[in-house]
Amino acid sequence: MPGSEEGDGRMQRNTSGVRTLSEGLCRLQAANTDRGRQEAPMKSPIPRMTMTLAASAVCVICCTLPAQAGSVLLQASADNTLYEDTNGLVSNGQGESFFAGRTALEELRRGLLRFDFSTIPAGSTITGVTLTLTCTRSISLAEEVSLHRSLTSWGEGASNALGEGGRGAPAQPGDATWLHRFSDATAWTSTGGDFDTTPSATTAVSGNGQYTWTSPGMVSNVQGWLNDASGNHGWFVLGAESITGSAKRFATREHADATLRPTLEVTYVIPAPGTALLLSSFMLATQRRRRQTV
Query: Is 78 found in the same domain as 34?
Result: no
Q: Residue 58's pLDDT is what?
A: 45
Q: Residue 5's pLDDT is what?
A: 40
CA 20 to chain centre: 37
Query: Is 236 found in the same domain as 284?
Result: no
Contact 147, 203 (CB under 8 A): no
pTM for this entry: 0.74
Q: Residue 3's pLDDT is what?
A: 40
Query: Is 189 found in the same domain as 128?
Result: yes
Query: Is 221 found in the same domain as 196?
Result: yes
* pLDDT tens digit sequence for 187-215: 999 999 999 999 999 999 999 999 999 99
The contacts of residue 77 (CB under 8 Å, 6+ apart) are 114, 115, 116, 253
Query: Is 252 found in the same domain as 141?
Result: yes
5-38 vs 275-293: helix axis angle to the nearest 10?
0
Query: Is 250 found in the same domain as 207?
Result: yes
Mean pLDDT of the chain: 82
Query: Is 164 found in the same domain as 282?
Result: no
Q: Residue 27's pLDDT is what?
A: 54
Query: Is 47 found in the same domain as 118?
Result: no
Label residue 163 left, alpha or beta by phi (over 0 means left) and psi (-120 to 50 means alpha): left
Strand partners, 102: 108
Rank 5-9, 237-241, 277-281 by mean pLDDT and report only the highest: 237-241
DSSP state of 66: P
Helix, strand, or coil (residue 84): coil
Look at residue 249 and tell me whether its pLDDT is greater than 80: yes
Contact 51, 31 (CB under 8 A): no
Q: Residue 66's pLDDT is what?
A: 72
Query: Is 152 found in the same domain as 30?
Result: no
Query: Going along 164-260, which residue ranges are E strands?
Result: 169-170, 180-182, 186-187, 201-205, 209-214, 235-238, 248-251
Look at residue 260 and tell me whether its pLDDT is greater than 70: yes
Query: Is 96 found in the same domain as 18?
Result: no
Q: Residue 166's pLDDT is what?
A: 93
Cα distances (angstroms) measured from residue 174 to each of 25, 93, 155, 243, 251: 62, 9, 5, 31, 21
Mean pLDDT of 43-65: 46
Contact 175, 156 (CB under 8 A): yes
Tell me how far apart the alpha carbons of residues 276 and 135 are, in angstroms, rounded to a whole number: 47
When divided into structural domains, the chain yields a total of 2
Contact 264, 117 (CB under 8 A): no
Return the CATH number at 128: 2.60.120
Residue span of the structural domain in which 11 resides: 5-66+274-293
What value, to the nearest 5°, has the Cα angle with vertex 174 and ends 169 and 178? 55
Where does the pLDDT of residue 291 fall: very low under 50, low under 70, confident under 90, or very high at 90 and above? low
The contacts of residue 168 (CB under 8 Å, 6+ apart) are 81, 83, 85, 90, 91, 92, 159, 161
Query: Is 244 found in the same domain as 145?
Result: yes
What value, to the nearest 5°, has the Cα angle with vertex 47 and ends 42 and 53? 145
Query: Is 144 found in the same domain as 23?
Result: no
